[in-house]
Structure 1
Amino acid sequence: MKNDTRPLVAHVMYRFDTGGLENGIVNLINHMPAGSYRHVIIALTEVTNFRNRIQRDDVQFVSLHKPPGHGIWLFPKLFRLFRQLRPAIVHSRNLAALEVQLPAWLAGVPVRIHGEHGRDIGDLDGSNITYQRVRRFYRPFVSYYLALSRDLAQYLNGIIRVPQTKVLQVYNGVDCSRFHPGQPDQSIPGCPFARPTHWLLGTVGRMQTVKDQPTLVRAFIRALEIEPQLKERIRLILVGDGPLREECQQLLDAADLDQLAWLPGERNDVPEVMRGLDCFVLPSLAEGISNTILEAMASGLPVIATNVGGNADLVVADKTGILVPAADPESMARAIIRMAKQADTRQSMAHSGRSLVEQKFSMNAMVASYQGTYDKLLHRNSVNLRP
């Protein structure tokens, strides 16, 4: 495309696979006007079949197959790649991809953006000194930072000492036409439990340490110990795959509650899954701005979430959901019982959550934030967003 004058944005992440960060990139590319920017997705390790979520046919994909450890030996390859592609913007995401900022600077990329999307499992509270030093080392090579929660913006300003003028706090957006409330009797395709006979409590996400699904399982078990009569109605849905799936199944088996739960693995019909739930739970140990919370609220679900990272930016306590401490099955169990027993509270939270998403977290608002930032840093006039 030698005659294509659209600036190229190189989106760089560790791995392009199922996940909230990656889903945000998909939404951004799919909803940004095609006439504004070209895009290339660069994975330091690998681009998976998740690439099929991209609906445009002019997006390039590059897998660099980086081995574990620091990527200094990848710098020459990145330098050559940036010189070949000549992107106007390199936009890296999270600590694992921050190192690309140096070769991007050496290659003369005009604008270098770094996004902080959430905490690493080895740095849940941002206190890891090594990670702080790494971020400070690469700070001079970053033109601008995008933080997906107030917590992360404050971390960059305070701990990493990035000037406030170089940090913008942005929110993810959700497609409210794709994620919308279902019918009271709508069930999840393939699920052995039927609504409204059963009240379905569930979560969706990769089953890895930071997502902490075992705490939800323990809370479910504890809730049924406190209120045994709920065994007739309440059912647990854990959608996703990963190293914690086996542990969750073992906890359910040991409590003899495996018949009251369903673990179908990864699904590609998340909107239908959401519409088939009665309450959504996010038990994470750390979060930026959770796409799945936004999707749940857009689907008209009350939310129980841990009070970490950006979750409090989304869940208005006792209005759109309930916030509980992380890794605290007892508190989560009490919240589950409250949700299961108080239908009026659930309905009110569900309505308020949907309204909040429509007002503040629309896809158009997210695209406007990102495109406005790109345009500002390149000194361009923003192209009108499609409705």
Structure 2
Amino acid sequence: MNGRDILHVVENLARGGLERTVIDLIAAQRAAGHRCRVICVFEPGQLADELLAQGVRVDACHKRGGLDLRALRRLRGWLRETPGAVLHTHNATAHYYALLAAAGLPLARTVNTRHGMGAAEPHSRKEALYRLSARFTDYVVGVCDAARDRFAQQRVRPRAGLLAIPNGIRLDRFAPAQASDRVALARELGWPDDSILIGTVGRLNPVKDQAALISAFHRVHATQPQARLVIVGDGALRADLQARIDIAGLQDVARLVGDRDDVPRWLAGMQIFALPSRSEGYSIALLEACAAGLPIVATEVGGNREIVREGINGALIGAGDKQALAQALQRLVSDPELARQQGQAGRDWVLREGSFLQMAQRYDALYAGKPLPERAVAGMVEAV
């Protein structure tokens, strides 16, 4: 097979789940013999260097606020360089900008992936532009069944189909957490060897609701003094979250460690993973926690219920329910065998269902206009 030209258009390549998914998808596509490029509507972002080092071309339009005709001309010029390519856009703004720039150009297929659950305001101008552009798109893909169903309710109507392709991750980057990894990380943070590390990974913004996790952890630590909290990530709320930690008197047992490029090592040092988000699509962070063999406490939003099965590999709680979050964490801290069983169940499941290679295979079929390979929907079996 000669392979095909695939143009990925993103807002940027900042560090995050969407961007990591695109990079892993490109790796699988290039291994299959396809030629890939990335165009960023805004700035390149931190992860652009990773693709450039692999020989993948990355261009940036440096779009300004509002309708930026100069950015649109740049984008059209780059799209014109590869006639007959597959245009794969990611999220709303990148999609309608790319589709406008591509008007009249010969493309093999147009595919858009929405990596979350869509906007909180479906009647906004941005979403109206997105729905209009979807009518001239071959396929719109949600990253979970819940997202696909929501877009259908919001009258997103692509030409050929609206479907779900779950995200996948590079499973080879993650190994089950070992006691030695946990002791090493505890020592690095200046904590006792018997510390039980509760952790989370994500941007520090209101949607991820790390503030609720800090509040719940305060209750957990009051009854489980060996518990510790690690929050991996950075963002606009860092100062606010640090203030919450300080006011609660948790500065010796809770740590904001900032943005990290070695997330697998941090996951290997944790015993429990928490994701208190108020909204999620199909969370890369949860897939990575499963791959690290961690039991999970997550909010029952978006696609979380398609990854976390109650009582099997973790617990699901209502968004914003700090008491339920604290209780679920306390149960895992106080029952190491339950935590081990649930962590193993999650890892078993993600090894079957969470590979980026499976994700790439499904997209490849979509690019070719073929039926998608089936994915198992039975989920996980209960831990023994």
Does the CA-based 8 Å contact 1:105-1:141 persist in structure 2?
no
Separation in 2 of the partners of 1:193 and 1:335? 26
Corresponding residue number in structure 2 for 1:213: 210
Corresponding residue number in structure 1 for 2:62: 65
Instruction: Select the residue among 57, 74, 79 that pairs with 1:82.
Output: 79
After superposition, the Cα gap between the structure-2 partners of 1:127 and 1:194, relative to the gap in structure 1 and judged at 3 Å, is: same
Corresponding residue number in structure 2 for 1:295: 288
Separation in 1 of the partners of 2:318 and 2:70? 41
Separation in 2 of the partners of 1:55 and 1:295? 24
After superposition, the Cα gap between the structure-2 partners of 1:135 and 1:33, relative to the gap in structure 1 and judged at 3 Å, is: closer
Q: 1:33, CA displacement in angstroms?
A: 4.5
Amino acid in the other structure paired with 2:108: P
Does the CA-based 8 Å contact 2:138-2:159 persist in structure 1?
no
Aligned ranges 1:1-387 → 2 under 5 Å: 6-54=3-51, 57-71=54-68, 74-86=71-83, 88-99=85-96, 100-119=98-117, 123-124=119-120, 127-162=122-157, 166-187=161-182, 189=185, 191-194=188-191, 196-224=193-221, 228-231=222-225, 233-376=226-369
The runs of 5 or more residues in structure 1 that have no matched partner are: 380-387
After superposition, the Cα gap between the structure-2 partners of 1:26 and 1:294, relative to the gap in structure 1 and judged at 3 Å, is: same
Amino acid in the other structure paired with 1:77: R
Does the CA-based 8 Å contact 1:104-1:112 persist in structure 2?
no
Map Cα deviations across residues 306-362 of structure 1 (whole Å, 9 max, x no partner). 111111111111111111111222221111111111222211111100010011112
Amino acid in the other structure paired with 1:136: R
After superposition, the Cα gap between the structure-2 partners of 1:36 and 1:332, relative to the gap in structure 1 and judged at 3 Å, is: same
Amino acid in the other structure paired with 2:244: L
Separation in 2 of the partners of 1:175 and 1:161? 30
Report which stretch shifted further, 190-199 or 108-117.
190-199
Separation in 2 of the partners of 1:250 and 1:128? 36
Percent identity reads 29
Q: 1:250, CA displacement in angstroms?
A: 0.4
Look up the SS of the partner of 2:189 in the other structure: coil
Does the CA-based 8 Å contact 1:30-1:56 persist in structure 2?
no
After superposition, the Cα gap between the structure-2 partners of 1:51 and 1:74, relative to the gap in structure 1 and judged at 3 Å, is: closer
Q: 1:38, CA displacement in angstroms?
A: 0.6
Separation in 2 of the partners of 1:127 and 1:140? 16
Does the CA-based 8 Å contact 2:294-2:346 persist in structure 1?
yes
Separation in 2 of the partners of 1:185 and 1:210? 33
Look up the SS of the partner of 2:188 in the other structure: coil
Amino acid in the other structure paired with 1:186: D
Amino acid in the other structure paired with 1:348: Q
Separation in 1 of the partners of 2:68 and 2:179? 50
Q: 1:78, CA displacement in angstroms?
A: 2.2
**RMSD in angstroms over aligned alpha carbons?**
2.3
After superposition, the Cα gap between the structure-2 partners of 1:161 and 1:271, relative to the gap in structure 1 and judged at 3 Å, is: closer
After superposition, the Cα gap between the structure-2 partners of 1:64 and 1:265, relative to the gap in structure 1 and judged at 3 Å, is: same
Separation in 1 of the partners of 2:143 and 2:190? 36
Q: 1:53, CA displacement in angstroms?
A: 3.0
Q: 1:275, CA displacement in angstroms?
A: 0.5
Separation in 2 of the partners of 1:84 and 1:329? 52
Q: 1:70, CA displacement in angstroms?
A: 4.2
Does the CA-based 8 Å contact 2:111-2:138 persist in structure 1?
yes
Map Cα deviations across residues 160-217 of structure 1 (whole Å, 9 max, x no partner). 2426951221111122221111212323557325575100000112212222211111
Amino acid in the other structure paired with 2:89: S
Report which stretch shifted further, 309-318 or 45-54.
45-54
Amino acid in the other structure paired with 1:148: V
Does the CA-based 8 Å contact 2:9-2:89 persist in structure 1?
yes
Length, aligned pairs only: 368
Look up the SS of the partner of 1:49 in the other structure: coil
